[in-house]
Amino acid sequence: MRWWKAVGLAGAAGVVATGVVVVRAERRRRAYTPDQVREQLQARFAEVATAEEVVDAGAERPGRFAAGRARLRRLIRRD
């Protein structure tokens, strides 16, 4: 068998393997009912909404870095 035949067979095997992976993923994706998909999306949205609330609450604190700035100013004035 010549080397180019081996390379061609390896390429064909790669294409077939990729197709199998794609078909399996598609079957898994289509196995969900619309209600299950809706529930998952609503759960993800709820997680994101609570995470944004936590981030927003942390950003609203006034003077968050005030102590650090004051210390830095004192260090700069000593020079």
Q: Report which DSSP code applies to 51.
A: H
Tokens 């078909």 appear where?
A: 23
What's phi and psi for 39, nearest 5 deg? -65, -40
Residue 57: what pLDDT?
60
Query: Nearest 5 degrees, angle CA 39-CA 24-CA 11?
Result: 145
Query: Which tokens go with 10?
Result: 């390896």
pLDDT, tens only, 4-47: 888 999 999 999 999 999 999 988 888 888 899 899 999 999 88
Residue 15: what pLDDT?
94
pLDDT, tens only, 45-68: 988 888 777 666 655 555 667 777
